[in-house]
Amino acid sequence: MATKKLNPTTPGSRHRTAPQFDDVTVSKPTVKRLVKGKGQSGGRNRQGRMTSRHRGGGHKRRYRLIDFKRDKHDIPAKIQTIEYDPNRSARIALVAYADGEKRYIIAPDELEVGDTIISSESVIEPDEGNAMPMKNMPPGTFIHNIELNPGKGAQLCRSAGTAAQMVAKTDKYVTVKLPSGEVRMILGTCFATVGTTSNPDHFNTTVGKAGRSRWKGRRPQTRGVAMNPVDHPMGGGEGKASGGHPRSPWGQSSKGLKTRKRKKLSNRYIVRSRKKSKK
C-alpha cells in the first residue's frame, strides 16, 4: 500500500497525505459471524465520570474477531480476502481452512489472495504467514504476532509495518529484538508468525485537519501552559510563560520520569532495554 498527496483544493487537503487501499479486495466484511457490534464509552466509566480525557465521538465501528492464537494446527488455509479494519492500523485477511472454517488473521505483508498458510507445532517451512513455536525458527527470522505466554495469543508486533527479529535461541528461551530496540528473552514454546505486518506506509500518513481526528474519536487537547493555575500545574503566568517543569495535570513529572517498577517480574527477561539501545 502507498500514500497519495492530494491537490490543495481546500485548506484541509493542503498538507493531507491520504492512504490508498489498493491492497484491499472487498469493501465490506463477508462473514457476519466474525463481526459484532462495538460500543463506545467516550472516556466515561460505569458511573458516567470521565476517566480518560480527549475521547468521544468518532465514526461508528464494528469489531472483527481476530484469531491471535493461530491454534488450528496442521490444517492448510487459503487467503480469501484482504480487508480494512477500522480498529487497527494493519490490514486483516480472511482465511478459509481445508475443513471449511473461516477466520480473520492479521494480514502479513506481501501476502495475496490465493496464497496458502499453515500453523503447526512441528517444524515447518518459515514462509511468510506461517505460525509456529519460535524454537522451531532459524535465528535471524523476522516475525510478528508474538506471544508472551504460551497459548495466550499474540501481544507483540501487531500494528502496521512492524516486525521483530529473532537473534538467538537456547534450549528454553529465544532472544528477540523488538521494534523499539529492546532485546528480551521469550519462551521458545510461544507462537509467532513469520514475516512483517501489512500496511507499512501507515506511518507516512498526515492527518491534515482537526476533523479527521474527530472521525477517529479524538477530541481536542488543550496545552497546560494555556490554562489557569487552578486547572493545571503549568498554567498561569504573565504573557506566554513557559510553565515551569513539565508535569501532568495531576502533578506527576513527565518527559524523562521513569515509572517502571524496579522489581518488576519481567525485568529478568530483558537483555537490553530500549533506552540503552538507542545510545
pLDDT one-digit tens code per residue, 205-253: 999 999 999 999 999 999 999 999 999 999 998 888 888 889 999 999 9
Whether 210 is covered by a domain: the verdict is no
What was the pLDDT predicted at 255?
Answer: 87
What was the pLDDT predicted at 110?
Answer: 87
Whether 169 is covered by a domain: the verdict is yes
Whether 213 is covered by a domain: the verdict is no
Q: Are 149 and 190 in contact (CB under 8 A)?
A: yes
Task: Tell which of 134, 169, 202 closes a domain.
Answer: 202
Which cell numbers in the block locate residue 17? 497525505
Whether 235 is covered by a domain: the verdict is yes
Please determine, for residue 80, whether its predicted confidence score (pLDDT) is greater than 70.
Answer: yes
Whether 66 is covered by a domain: the verdict is yes
Q: Is 95 exposed, middle or buried (0-12, 13-18, 19+ CB in 10 A)?
A: buried
Whether 194 is covered by a domain: the verdict is yes
What was the pLDDT predicted at 239?
Answer: 87
Same domain, 141 and 274: no
Same domain, 21 and 132: yes
218, amino acid identity:
R
What was the pLDDT predicted at 256?
Answer: 85
Give residue 279's domain range. Answer: 223-279
* Domain CATH for 256: 4.10.950.10
What was the pLDDT predicted at 242?
Answer: 81
State the pLDDT confidence band at 36, using cuts at 50, 70 and 90. very high
pLDDT mean across residues, the chain:
93
Same domain, 136 and 257: no
Task: Give 101-160 pLDDT, tens digit per residue.
Answer: 999 999 999 899 999 999 999 888 999 999 999 999 999 999 999 999 999 999 999 999
CA angle 276, 203, 147 (to 5 degrees): 60
Same domain, 16 and 92: yes
* Domain CATH for 89: 2.40.50.140
For residue 156, what are the contacts with CB-CB under 8 A and spacing of at least 6? Answer: 144, 145, 146, 148, 164, 178
Which cell numbers in the block locate residue 204? 507516512
Q: How many domains does the chain have?
A: 2
What was the pLDDT predicted at 278?
Answer: 56
